Amino acid sequence: MTYSDELIQDLEAKARKIRRDVIVSIGVGVAGHVGGSNSSADIVTALYFYKMKHDPKNPKMEDRDRFLLSKGHVGILQYSALAEAGYFPVEALQHTKELGSFLQGHPDVQKTPGIEAGTGSLGQGLSIGLGMALGQKLQEIDAKTYVLVGDGEIAEGQIWEAAMAASAFHADNLVAIVDRNGLQANGRTKDRFDSGDITAKFLSFGWHVIEINGHDMREICKALDDADTVKGVPTVIIANTVKGKGVSFAENVVGFHNGVLSQEQYDQALRELS
Amino acid sequence: MGYTNQRQAYGNTLVELGKTDPRIVVLDADLGGSTMGKLFEAAYPKRHFEMGIAEADMSSVAAGLAQTGLIPFTNSFAVFAGGRAFDQIRQTIAIGKLNVKICGSSSGLSDFGDGATHQCIEDMAIFRAVPNMTVLCPADANETVEAVKAMVDYDGPCYIRLNRNDYENSTPEGKPFKIGEPEVMKEGTDIALFATGYMVHLALEAAAQLEGEISVKVINVATIKPLNQQAVIDAAAGCKAVVTAEEHNIRGGMGSAIAEALAKNPKPMEFIGMKDEFGCSAHNYKELLEHFGLTTETLVEAVRKMYREF
């Protein structure tokens, strides 16, 4: 499969816009997950604007592909993608986490169109996604389920319960993407809780593993397309990323896991992402 | 029909309902032989999911299945259903109001041999505290059949608590189950005796023994939440005092729910149940119930005491 320069440039522009939306949703003087949103932004953009079959006007379309944000603390990233896709107005993003807002601190299936299930207690999204994939298979719905997990998150044991189960059920319509940005809330993942060789782990659990640069749009699109050709086993895409990507002062900075932007930083971030 | 075991009633009813409702799917965590999920597995192997010994994963997978329009029933022992998967149930199933049915099998002291680790005396309290969760505790096998039908008809998260052992039915076959409604099983005017699960059987025995001495009204509380508050008030009205009986900790269970309902129309109350202590192993169910004071005789004495004192 080839990817035209135009397609890639469009997706890159969309990812920049989504990163700007994230900054706007966070605003000034209030903590928000800049780091993990920006590390995942290219992947999420490729899913919503290249790969997934979905309809913002009909969020419950039966044969839609589904996306689950297992690392639910970056809900603002998914909200930005959903808004850009047309599920709700982009202006609504400014009201994220406000009292009464339909955009909660973590994804809420009851409140937000386009959210497939509540996530945020880490480690559970892959299991939920497996349930969806099994439901799709059982009902012969030709669709896939994509689940984005963090590399800190995979310390949760349930991830590996799901990994084992997905393999046992031959869930080849389930695709996990690990955002390997190397940082978690309290420091470098390698220092705080070393999850070791993730590729070897998933391979030993019976998954097809693809490793990519999670900021190279061409590589992301190709990995997502390649996953379609894998039969009989689930696929995991291990995406090497930079936490805070695109905002120079936040890149690889632990403090911006859930950081507060000053007015100056807010303005600078929007300039850098323009 | 004609079951005398809630697990048998549960498993067979799922098979029966599954004949005409392809949305029903069943998940087990290597306990299908006990939960009777094995019956569904034998009948509809494609719609049964053996999830391995992984209750957390099972519960989240059920959430995902429900989001594709299916009606998943997850089976495990009550102690694991709520204990090992509380967070999964709270975060995704309850907050999302997903249509997942959770079966807590071998609840209370009914798994007599396995001891405290397997005797769940907290599940009603746990699930009663979770918003959006419906909590059922049918009296017997007959009522279990109807409760399972009601669970399928109800769109939303629902927990059902089942007993492991055989015992005779107190409720009739085929009586439609109304979620939320306590039911007067025997009229009486002196003491209102609210019971749930197997304790309903003992409550009726106690009321019969006291006939001619004290007039006992017996109320079956098969839905712990939601609970029709006015129906509880009406049931207790005119009685001198209230006794509750449950195979569960007296902290936070059915008795507490009755006390909450009666708070503005208070009655003197006595709570029969596990007195904030864990169970233990015994060679049979009856012996264990006697050890913890969950017997007809205890109920008779509690009713007499309340009748004398108030």
* For chain A, domain boundaries: 5-272
- pLDDT tier for residue B1 given thresholds of 50, 70 and 90: low
CA dihedral B22, B24, B25, B27 (to 10 degrees): -170
Kindly state the average pLDDT of the residues B41-47: 98
> What CATH architecture applies to the domain B6-161?
3-Layer(aba) Sandwich (3.40)
Instruction: Sort residue B225 into left (φ over 0), alpha (ψ -120 to 50) or beta.
Output: beta
pLDDT tens string B92-113 = 999 999 999 999 999 999 999 9
**Residues A29-60: pLDDT tens digits?**
999 999 999 999 999 999 999 999 999 999 99
pLDDT exceeds cutoff 80 at B53: yes
In the predicted model, what is the mean pLDDT of residues B214-225?
Answer: 98
Q: What is the pLDDT of residue B2?
A: 87
- CA angle (B83, B87, B93) in 5-degree steps: 110
| For range B79-91, the mean pLDDT | 97
Cβ contacts (< 8 Å) between B60 and chain A: which residues?
124, 127-128, 130-131, 158, 162
CATH architecture designation of domain B183-309: 3-Layer(aba) Sandwich (3.40)
CATH code given to domain A5-272: 3.40.50.970
Taking each helix axis as running N to C, give the angle between helix A217-228 and helix A34-46, from 0 to 180 degrees, rounded to the nearest 10.
60
Report pTM: 0.96
> For residues B156 and B153, what is the distance between their CA atoms, to the nearest angstrom?
9
Q: What is the pLDDT of residue B256?
A: 98
**Residue A157 host element (H or E):** helix A157-168
Query: Tens digits of per-residue pLDDT, A102-148?
Result: 999 999 999 999 999 999 999 999 999 999 999 999 999 999 999 99
- Which chain A residues have a beta carbon less than 8 Å from that of B72? 131
% chain A with pLDDT above 90? 98
Phi, psi of B221 (to 5 degrees): -105, 85
User: What is the residue whose two structure tokens read 């999830």?
Assistant: B51
What is the Cα–Cα distance from B259 to B18, expressed in whole angstroms? 38
**Separation of CA B42 from chain center:** 26
Domains B6-161 and B183-309 share a fold: yes
Distance, in Å, from the CA atom of B231 to the CA atom of A131, rounded to the nearest integer, reads 39
**CA–CA distance, B18 with B43 (Å, rounded to integer):** 9
Which residue, among A106, A110, A126, A127, would best test binding to B if mutated, counting the most B CBs under 10 Å from its CB?
A: A127
Measure in Å the smallest separation between the Cα of A107 and chain B Cα atoms: 10
pLDDT digits (tens, 9 = 90+) for B2-12: 899 999 999 99
pLDDT in tens, A73-87: 999 999 999 999 999
Instruction: Indicate the residue of B46, B57, B67 with minimum beta-carbon distance to A158.
Output: B57
**Residue (of B124, B107, B121, B220) closest to B163 by Cα position:** B107
A261-A185-B58-A227 Cα dihedral, nearest 10 degrees = 80
Domain-by-domain residue ranges, chain B? 6-161, 183-309
Decide if pLDDT at B183 tops 70: yes
Percent pLDDT > 90 in chain B is: 99
Collapsed DSSP state (helix, strand, coil) of residue A86: coil
Report pLDDT digits (tens) over A196-247.
999 999 999 999 999 999 999 999 999 999 999 999 999 999 999 999 999 9
Residue B62 phi/psi, 5-degree rounding, is -60, -40
ipTM value for the complex: 0.95
Probe site for chain B from A128, A141, A169, A173 (most B CB atoms < 10 A) = A128
Inter-chain CB proximity B25 and A138 less than 8 Å = yes
The H or E element that residue B205 is part of is: helix B199-209
Q: Give me the residues of A, 241-260, that contact B with CB < 8 A.
A: none
Contact, A241 vs A39, CB < 8 A? yes
d(CA A81, CA A68): 13
Task: Give residue for tokens 């007067």.
Answer: B184
For range B260-289, the mean pLDDT: 98
